[in-house]
Amino acid sequence: MSDLRPSLSPRDYVDPAVYELENERILRASWLPVCRVDQIPDTGDRHAVTLLGQPIVAMRTGEGDVRVFANVCPHRGSELVDDGPGHGTTLICPYHRWAFRLDGTFIGAPLSTGADLDGVCLPVVRHSVWEGFVLVNLSGDAPDPAPRLAGLTEQIGPWRWSELVTVATASFESSWNWKVMVENWIECYHHLGTHRDTLEPFQPAQTTTILPNGGDPWVAMTVQGIGGLEGDPAGWLPGVTVERARDLVVWAAFPLLLAGSISRYAFWLRLIPTDATHHRVTWHLLTHPERLTQFTDDVIAHDMEIIAAVHAEDMASCARVQAGLSSGRLQKFRLTALEAPIADFQRWIAGRLGR
């Protein structure tokens, strides 16, 4: 049996000092998701996000490359573009009209006589593309993510993640510690309680299989759905086999990339912590380009309604957990075999904190 000893204490989910240490040693030092490459498909497309207080923007350059820059004008520090998607042949600061090319180089500035313009450009933010995700490392010195995620790449291979495209998004504000959200995601034991009327009848917790990660910074599991839940094979994502079609696959790449899939579509969550007890979650619904015609407005609305309903159940449970952790009445955690991924996650967190 896996080592189920918890490595964190309830205090680690409420103490602002612990969050600041996590911010420095874990969040800024790790690979974090910004968007997917399909969200910036064409030259001039961009996606901006404020990540751990850092305004950044992912761009598609004229050469077709993906580049990531600080979304900060080197003149006086104004943010260049608003968070979210956008498009343009240049980036022009709204404050004083300093202009930059898509590759971050400086074009010029009006009425700038006397200014020191030597070396002016947009600061580069280190990034990597893995399975279609644009990941950034704010510290700039994290090892390449691909080798340590190789086992996860193999496990999620049938769903061809690198080819999937986004069809809808929805954001939710959360008033609990970011680790509570991650731990809720990486165990399906709570199907029995939180989702007893929605998921448990169709994807029972007892059918969970936890996949071996070899000690690498990811976890994954499958939950076998009841017969018929997989739907018509004509609607399956290309690559999904009969043997995998009934599986709900849930996975996470530490610390903040949460994702999963069923036969017909995939989904991922971008978490952006803001302090010890708050973060924003953005859900993304994905499909394969060969299945796009099946995702009509009505189908998308229906699927997102289901996602929102299930997430609302998770939000209620996470809020209860945070209230209990904040009460001071819980001294330690106790984990079951179905929560082995939480033990893995906590060991990883503790190790990065130097414990």
Query: What domains can be seen in the chain, in order of their start residue?
Result: 10-30+146-352 (3.90.380.10), 45-128 (2.102.10.10)
SS3 assignment, position 345: helix
CA-based nearest residue to 187, from 3, 6, 337: 337
Residue 1's pLDDT is what? Answer: 53
SS3 assignment, position 114: coil
CB 62 within 8 A of CB 102: yes
Q: What single letter denotes the amino acid at residue 49? A: V
Beta-strand runs (E) in 99-228:
99-100, 106-108, 127-130, 133-136, 165-174, 208-211, 218-224
Q: Which residue is listed with tokens 């060969």?
A: 290
pTM (predicted TM-score):
0.96
DSSP tag of 226:
P
- Interatomic CA distance for residues 284 and 163, integer angstroms: 15
- Interatomic CA distance for residues 224 and 354, integer angstroms: 37
Residue 324's pLDDT is what? Answer: 98
Question: Could you read off the pLDDT tens digit of each residue along the chain, which spans 355 residues?
Answer: 579 999 999 999 999 999 999 999 999 999 999 999 999 999 999 999 999 999 999 999 988 899 999 999 999 999 999 999 999 999 999 999 999 999 999 999 999 999 999 999 999 999 999 999 999 999 999 999 999 999 999 999 999 999 999 999 999 999 999 999 999 999 999 999 999 999 999 999 999 999 999 999 999 999 999 989 899 999 999 999 999 999 999 999 999 999 999 999 999 999 999 999 999 999 999 999 999 999 999 999 999 999 999 999 999 999 999 999 999 999 999 999 999 999 999 999 999 999 9
DSSP tag of 95:
T
Task: Please give the span between the terminal C-alpha atoms of the chain, in angstroms, as a whole number.
Answer: 23
What is the per-residue pLDDT across 127-139, written as a single tens digit (0 to 9) for each? 999 999 999 999 9
Q: Which residues of 228-266 are buried (b: 16+ CB within 10 A; e: fewer)?
A: eebeeeebbbeebeeebbbbbbbbbbbbbbbbbbbbbbb
CA 203 to each of CA 230, 314, 350: distance values in angstroms, whole numbers, following the listed order: 11, 16, 32
